[in-house]
Amino acid sequence: MGIFANLFKKNKGEISSKNVEDFALLTRVYFQSVIAVNLGITNIRFVPDVANFKRLFKIPTQGGRLGQAEKTTSKKMLMQDYELSENFFKEIDNSIKKHCRTPNDIQSYLFMYQGFLNDLMMLMGNLMQWKFRMPSIFKSALRTMTEKTVHDVCTKTVWKKDDVHKTAAAVRQYKERLGYSEQWMTEYVYNVVMLAKKESKKNTKE
Model confidence pLDDT, tens digit, residues 43-72? 998 899 999 999 999 999 988 899 999 999
Per-residue pLDDT, 141 = 86
- The closest of 110, 118, 120, 113 to 168, measured between CA atoms, is 120
* Same domain flag for 123 and 201: yes
* Same domain flag for 17 and 64: yes
- The closest of 139, 118, 30, 13 to 78, measured between CA atoms, is 30
At what angle are helices 139-155 and 182-205 packed, to 10 degrees? 130
Per-residue pLDDT, 202 = 59
Lowest-confidence region among 52-61, 134-143, 155-164:
134-143
* Same domain flag for 116 and 205: yes
Count of positions (residues) in the chain: 206
Domain boundary among 54, 83, 112: 83
CA distance linking residue 155 with residue 163, whole number of Å = 17
Confidence of residue 179 (pLDDT cuts 50, 70, 90): very high
* Same domain flag for 109 and 203: yes
* Same domain flag for 14 and 108: no
* Same domain flag for 1 and 78: yes
* Same domain flag for 175 and 109: yes
Collapse the DSSP code of 19 into the 3-class scheme (helix H, G, I; strand E, B; otherwise coil) and give the result: coil
* Same domain flag for 112 and 195: yes
What is the residue range of 25's domain?
1-83
* Same domain flag for 76 and 114: no
* Same domain flag for 142 and 192: yes
Instruction: List residues bridging with 55 in a β-sheet.
Output: none
CA distance linking residue 30 with residue 156, whole number of Å = 31
Per-residue pLDDT, 115 = 96
* Same domain flag for 206 and 118: yes
Long-range contacts of 48-54 (CB under 8 A, 24+ apart): 49/25, 52/4, 53/25, 53/29
Q: What is the dihedral of CA 42, 48, 49, 54, to 10 degrees?
A: 50
* Same domain flag for 160 and 193: yes
Q: What is the dihedral of CA 174, 177, 180, 185, to 10 degrees?
A: 0
Confidence of residue 180 (pLDDT cuts 50, 70, 90): very high
